[in-house]
Chains A and B, each alone.
Chain A
Amino acid sequence: MLNNITIGQYFPANSVIHRADPRVKILLTVAVIVILFLASGFVALGICAAFCILLILLTKIPVKMYLKNLKAIWAVLLLTAALNVFYITGEGDPLFKWKFISIYTEGIERAVFIAVRIFLLIIISSALTYTTSPTELTDAIERLLSPLKLIGLGGAVHVFAMMMSIALRFIPTLIEETDKIMSAQKARGAEMDSGNLIKRIKAMLPIMIPLLFSSVRRAYDLAEAMECRCYNGGAGKTKMKQLHLSFRDFALVFGVIILLASVILLRIFPIVLF
């Protein structure tokens, strides 16, 4: 039921992108997101799309997995597209006019543009989480934030990273558990999808309370298990996986620089298709 959610999941594979330095991947993802917002016009967006497609092909993860995300966000896509279609007014005559609604070519163009942009945003961030294990991700964030150690925030950075990594580790476990508790309560005749708002919130209690209790128990167990494995808050901790930049990281950076350059050039010298 709930285990169809793939956003934020990691798919182990042995691709160039998987092996790239997670710090580089995080920074480049942020860069591509900025570039997507810089892109103006369909040519620039097309180049961005081509770049994203090339990238997801390189991840060796089935394209289907990326498309599945569409399912989760189609409502958002549709809404933004619709807003644009109805609100943008263009020059010249509208394509369609009925009472107070008028649709212009510009509106449709804008709607398509925004929808593609959102979709690319989702794809590029999925590519990051699909190819980077939560531990790598948090480890990279910890290192990217390491300048904060200089102002005495080293402990806080470690705790933040540890919390994030444990949260990510337990998300699938908790989803599974929620599913089980839901089935058990339904078997006792619980109704979860009918009635007014208050009734529905009340109907969630038989799920939320057991979930809360079991999370507390898990947290307690996990803390003991971590103590048994000599965890002491990260002091003197080493890392099995050392991060070092390699040729593939520079190649990725180079690719993104080219992308950035072409998008900026297109802003200065726009090519208009229609």
Chain B
Amino acid sequence: MDNIIELKKVVFDYTDENDLPVSVLDEISLSIERGSFTAVLGHNGSGKSTMAKLLNGLNKPSSGTVTVNGMDTADEKHEFEVRKTVGLVFQNPDNQIVASIVEEDVAFGPENLGVEPKEIRNRVDEALKSVGMYEYRTHAPFKLSGGQKQRIAIAGILAMQPECIVLDEPTAMLDPRGRSEVIETIQRLNREKGMTIVLITHYMDEAALADRVVVMDGGKVILDGTPMDVFGHVTELKSVGLDVPQPTELVTLLKADGVDIDTDVLDVDQCVEVLVKALHLEEK
């Protein structure tokens, strides 16, 4: 398997104001396959944001190693190469936009990398087109909606031509429309451009769209598999303070009640189909 990011026995801890050690991540080993779409689920304080910052070297592990394309993120000399390869998008869209004009903000990354002016122009236009914000290139980000701002933040990362984008709860501050705009953009980048995506979230419906779901609790990975595998563990998920998509929850509950039903269900349509079968509706 071709892995773009590898975490080997990564520990991350710090000492709080009373000099007591606080462990955030506890010997995590995980690899992210090139071109995949991975969702990382966990409640607030489960260590998932710390993990996001480890993936592009913003955080350095206390012990263990994180490698990006084989480069150790703890090694200073790879700093820019790592950040260019793995782009990070944060939760609050307002706090990651640097410039007062959309296109100037998107240009910020490539400008820092010393890219030729003409090439920057091309990259900026292309990045804005792939997030569907090209027609807003001369607008002030301040006046745009949350979903639009977040797509500009994604474009700002795309313009650095990364191989992987890590998004740390990018939809937590958005309304439903903004959320679907951002999620559709991420899915498109993954499918059409083969971009590796790591989506950190606590929305189960978003995680259900990934190829793989990693569930974190107490600084450890407690579940790891396809959405279908992971969401089958309804009680375990609930016990760590997470939800399950409603369709999955319904069929799992019915199964536990003794109904003969297929529980491989993630969305509404699949759920309706298995229920139609279980209730013998077609035959009536």
- Is there any pair of Cβ atoms, one from A and one from B, under 8 angstroms apart in the complex? yes
Q: List B contacts of A242 (CB < 8 A).
A: 117
Q: List B contacts of A172 (CB < 8 A).
A: 140, 142
With the chains together, A166 CA to B101 CA distance in Å? 12
A243 to chain B: closest CB distance in Å? 11
With the chains together, A133 CA to B87 CA distance in Å? 27
With the chains together, A229 CA to B113 CA distance in Å? 9
In the assembled complex, B226 has its CB within 8 A of some CB on chain A: no
Interface residue ranges, B against A (CB under 8 Å): 53, 56, 58, 80, 83-84, 87-88, 90, 92, 94-101, 103-104, 107-117, 120-121, 124, 138-140, 142, 153, 156-157, 160
A229-B109, A240-B121 known; A169 and B97 CB under 8 Å? yes
A154 to chain B: closest CB distance in Å? 16
**Can you list, as one digit per residue, whether each of A203-232 has a CB less than 8 Å from chain B (1) or not (0)?**
000000000000001100110111111111
A173-B142, A238-B117, A240-B117 known; A231 and B112 CB under 8 Å? yes
Q: Which of A228, A231, A236 has the most chain B CB within a 10 Å cutoff?
A: A228
Q: List B contacts of A229 (CB < 8 A).
A: 83, 98, 108-109, 112, 156-157, 160
A235 to chain B: closest CB distance in Å? 9
In the assembled complex, A12 has its CB within 8 A of some CB on chain B: yes
Contact B98 A218 (CB under 8 A): no
A169-B98, A240-B104 known; A228 and B115 CB under 8 Å? no
Interface of A is mostly: helix
Q: Which 9 pairs show the lowest CB-CB distances between chains A and B?
A: A225-B96, A221-B95, A240-B107, A229-B109, A240-B120, A230-B112, A134-B100, A236-B114, A228-B88
With the chains together, A239 CA to B119 CA distance in Å? 11
With the chains together, A222 CA to B124 CA distance in Å? 20
With the chains together, A133 CA to B95 CA distance in Å? 19
Of B90, B107, B115, the contact of A224 (CB 8 Å cutoff): B90
Question: Contact size class for A?
Answer: 20 to 34
Of B87, B100, B107, B117, the contact of A228 (CB 8 Å cutoff): B87
Q: Which of A135, A239, A240 has the most chain B CB within a 10 Å cutoff?
A: A240
How many inter-chain residue pairs (CB < 8 Å) link A and B? 105
Q: List B contacts of A168 (CB < 8 A).
A: 100
18 A-B pairs with CB atoms under 8 Å apart are A10-B100, A10-B101, A12-B140, A134-B99, A165-B99, A172-B140, A173-B142, A218-B95, A221-B90, A224-B53, A225-B88, A228-B87, A229-B157, A230-B84, A230-B109, A239-B117, A240-B103, A241-B104
Q: List A contacts of B97 (CB < 8 A).
A: 169
In the assembled complex, A237 has its CB within 8 A of some CB on chain B: yes
Q: List B contacts of A232 (CB < 8 A).
A: 80, 112
Q: List B contacts of A225 (CB < 8 A).
A: 88, 90, 95-96, 98, 153
A34 to chain B: closest CB distance in Å? 28
Contact B112 A10 (CB under 8 A): no
Q: List B contacts of A12 (CB < 8 A).
A: 101, 138-140
Contact B114 A237 (CB under 8 A): yes
B48 to chain A: closest CB distance in Å? 16
Q: List B contacts of A236 (CB < 8 A).
A: 114
With the chains together, A231 CA to B90 CA distance in Å? 16
With the chains together, A242 CA to B94 CA distance in Å? 27
Contact A238 B114 (CB under 8 A): yes
With the chains together, A162 CA to B139 CA distance in Å? 20
A222-B96, A225-B95 known; A239 and B139 CB under 8 Å? no
B156 to chain A: closest CB distance in Å? 6
